[in-house]
Each structure stands twice: as C-alpha cells, then as structure tokens.
Amino acid sequence: MKRVRILLVGVCGYGGNYVKEIEENDIPDTEVTGVVEVRDDVYELFPVLKEKNIPVYKNLETFFEANPDGVDLTILSTPIHLHYEQIRFCLLKNSNVLTEKPVCTSVKGAEQLLEFEEKCGRFISVGYQLNYSRDILALKKDIVSGRFGEPLSFKALHAMRRGRNYYMRNSWAGRIEINGCKVNDSPFNNACAHQFQVMTFLLGNKMNEAAELKSVEGEVYRGNAEIENYDIAAIKAHTLSGVPILYYTAHALKEKKLGPYAEYKFSKGTVYFGRKQDGQDILEYIYVGNDGEVINYGNIDKGLRLQKLYDSIEAVRYGVHPVCTVQCAIPHLYAVEELAREKIHEISKEYVNIHYENDDTFYEVKDLKNILTTCYVQECLVSKIEAFHVL
Ligand SMILES: NC(=O)c1ccc[n+]([C@@H]2O[C@H](COP(=O)([O-])OP(=O)(O)OC[C@H]3O[C@@H](n4cnc5c(N)ncnc54)[C@H](O)[C@@H]3O)[C@@H](O)[C@H]2O)c1
C-alpha cells in the first residue's frame, strides 16, 4: 500500500477538523509530514502535533525547502483569497491538492486552475463535503440514470444565525473585497454554500460534473450593519438546459438555524429533504414517485464525516480523481459572482433587533423565518411578496 504523505495548510480555523480527524483516527499508511500555519500558537492549540513531532512551518516555501521530496497531498484550509496561488504552488511541487471551498475567488481563476491541473498531472479536489456523501452519490446515480425522469425544478432553503464573533474571527468574513481581491464572503459563498452547490452537482450529467448555469438573478439584503457584504439572499438560477434552481439563505436570523430544506421535482416524482409534502420532518433524502414509489436514501451509510479526506487519500493511491472536481465548484462560483452585481438593500434599523447572548451580538431581522419560508413555498424572490416590502 502506497504511504501517503500529507501537508496541512491553515489549521486554526475549519482546518482544525483535519488535525482532529488524524488525531482521533490512525489512518493506515499515511503520515502528516508537516503543517503550514501563520499563527504562533499551533502547538498549544494542537498538542498532538508536538507529541507526534510534526513540524510547523510559516509558509509553503520553507516547508518545501525543508522537504525537497514534497508530499502526495496538500490540504488547504486557508482564507479563500489565498487558495488560487497556494493551489498553483503545490501543483508545481507535484502535490495533489484538496482545497476547502470555494476553490478560489473567480470563475476565471477556476478555469485557469483546471488548465494548470491538467498540465501538472496532479488533481485538485474541492471540499464541498456533500458531494462525497454516499447517500447523495446514490441519489445522483439515480438522477443521472433517468430513474426519476426529467428534472423540472430544484429549490432549497438553509439559514444559520451568525453573530459578531463569527465575523470577527478573521479579516475577510463578511467582506466583499480584501487586499484588492473580491472575496464576496456571505452565507451564500461560505457557511450556507453547500445546499446550493449540491443542487448544481446533482443536476450534472456525469457523476463528477455539476450543471452549468446560464442565468442567475437574485435579491440581496444586509441586516447586520457591521458587515460590508449582504447576509440575506434569495437566488433564482437556471441551468444551461433550463432547470430553475431557487435558493434562500441568511445569517441575520433570530432562530439558530432554519432548514436545510430541499425539494427537487422531476417528471416522475419529487425528492425531499428536511420536510416532506405532508409536512412531516425528515432528516434524509426521500424520493416520492407520482406512482407511490418511495426511496429512502437515509438507509444508505453516508460515509465518514470527513469522507473528502479519505477519498482524496484513496485517489492519490489509485491515481484517480476525487468526485468533487474544480468544474463541480464553478457553477456555484459563477452564481456568487453574478449575485455580487446586485445592489445590496440595507434593512432599516426598525426591522432589526440587536440581541446579546453568550458574549456575542446578533443582528436579527424581524420575521425573517416567515419571509424566507413563504418565499420558499411560493417559489419567488422576496420583493414579489407585497407583505415583505419592509425589506
Ligand atoms: N467545508 C466546510 O463546511 C467549511 C466550513 C468552514 C470553512 N470552510 C472553508 O475553509 C477555509 C478556511 O475558513 P476559516 O473560516 O477556517 O478561515 P480562517 O481565516 O478563520 O482560518 C484560516 C486559517 O488559515 C491560517 N492562515 C492564514 N493565512 C495563511 C497562510 N498564508 N498560510 C497558512 N495558513 C494561513 C489562519 O491563521 C487560520 O488558521 C475557507 O475556504 C472556508 O470557506 C469550509
């Protein structure tokens, strides 16, 4: 069995999950050759790295100088505006790359990465975890095979409350631009990206492809006056083949979370997640055919929490490409860029409650749960509903 050498880059945010995974599970025939992190307190935060004598470097250059034989897999969990250059650097050092999502900050950059990946003969996999989940892959297999007939329309709703601590954790959260780079950070590009991206993934013609989009329109609002970008979005996109995709998301919410809910309509039936047509709450993907056939994808073992890590290790070993390619990341990135053209509507202070809880501050738009849920049910943008003109 080929021993897979791994480099972890950026471990003090989401990337800490990879350290914990490796700490808790002795993954056979792998080694963490090193960590690259700009912070000074890595060993204090992760004593396991010291215990296992895993060296920490300040940047990629010094890591590869000290390790001229390189590594087989680099895992990037760094700020999104660093991905493009870091991916290129690692490919040039002959390493495969698993990068956290989004793959980079523009469709143009992603297309260049696709070309570069081809030229270097190493893979770039993207960390949209739903794409690696075995129930979703089984559902996609059934969609691609035509089992449910033609896709007619897809929609989803997923909102999570996020407060000042979330936005203050780094220099780029909630920002439109940082150091001249458009990061377009928002619930749509970051914490609630997955439910939109997975719709494009499920509509792709092949298992490792997402459906391209031909149009994206939407409405964006800012409830939290402290941030630069929007924190509420309603999006209507169309795939190249004309399937409408509706998506609703927000951070300026009173409830800790709303959804995820999803409904994917096909000519032969509908796939539900979160809530079925009879109002019953469900935590799995369930297909209900017009002829009464029911398929519960909850019966399928989803795989591991960080299946993307395990799949990337296997892909190195067997010389294949993990399922979430750069192409799979492009339609979501395209939608993020298109939505960035929309004017951000500031929500007037009288409709926003400022709420303090557990040393955090939340901007909560009144009635937002009802607004987003109504739009989701009626399949329209917020401005189409007269009662919500307060926004
Ligand atoms: N898949 C998911 O569900 C999920 C969830 C959260 C975040 N993410 C993604 O993970 C990535 C990181 O997000 P985050 O919220 O942890 O960001 P963050 O900015 O809070 O943390 C990034 C980490 O990278 C380090 N870092 C910064 N510059 C660096 C450099 N030049 N070299 C090495 N390390 C550097 C920081 O010190 C920090 O430890 C983003 O792409 C984000 O979208 C994915």
The whole-number pLDDT of residue 276 equals 75
CATH number at residue 231: 3.30.360.10
Number of domains in the chain: 2
> Is the same domain home to 211 and 273?
yes
The torsion angles phi and psi of 212, rounded to 5 degrees, stand at -75, 155
| CA nearest ligand 1 atom 9, residue | 100
Residue 269 phi, psi (nearest 5): 165, -170
CATH number at residue 91: 3.40.50.720
**Which structural domain, as residue segments, surrounds residue 22?**
4-126
Q: State the pLDDT confidence band at 390, using cuts at 50, 70 and 90.
A: low
Q: Are residues 61 and 147 in the same domain?
A: no
The answer on 225 and 158 residing in a single domain is yes
Looking at the fold, whether 141 and 94 belong to one and the same domain comes out as no
Spatial CA neighbour of 145 closest among 207, 69, 67, 219? 207
Structure tokens belonging to residue 248 = 């609703």
Ligand 1 pocket list (CB less than 6 A) = 9-15, 36-39, 77-80, 82, 100-101, 127, 129, 169-170, 190
Confirm whether 311 is domain-assigned: no
Residue 233 lies in a domain: yes
* Residue whose CB lies within 8 A of the most ligand 1 atoms, among 43, 100, 103, 229, for a mutation test: 100
Q: How far is the CA of 332 from the centre of ligand 1 (A)?
A: 19
How close is the Cα of 359 to the center of ligand 1, in Å?
23
C-alpha span between 168 and 123 (Å, rounded): 33
CA distance 9 to 54: 13
9 CA to centre of ligand 1 in angstroms: 9
Residue 289 pairs with which residues in a beta bridge? Answer: 269
Alpha carbon distance 159, 391 (integer Å) = 17
Residue 74 has pLDDT above 70, yes or no: yes
Residues 6+ apart with CB under 8 A from 88: 113, 116
Tens of pLDDT, residues 109-147 = 999 999 999 999 999 999 999 999 999 999 999 999 999
**Per-residue pLDDT tens digits for 169-203:** 999 999 999 999 999 999 999 999 999 999 999 99
Centre of ligand 1 to C-alpha 134, Å, is 26
In a domain, 288, yes or no: yes
C-alpha span between 391 and 386 (Å, rounded): 10
Q: What is the pLDDT of residue 204?
A: 98
Average pLDDT, the chain: 96
Residue 201 lies in a domain: yes
Confirm if 149 and 290 have CB atoms less than 8 A apart. Answer: no
Is the pLDDT at 1 greater than 90, yes or no?
Answer: no
| Ligand 1 closest atom vs CA 190 | 43
Residue pair 125/311 in contact by the 8 Å Cβ criterion: yes
Q: 128: CA distance to ligand 1 center in Å?
A: 14
Domain limit, last residue, from 98, 126, 154 = 126
Q: Does residue 302 contact residue 134 with C-beta atoms inside 8 Å? A: yes
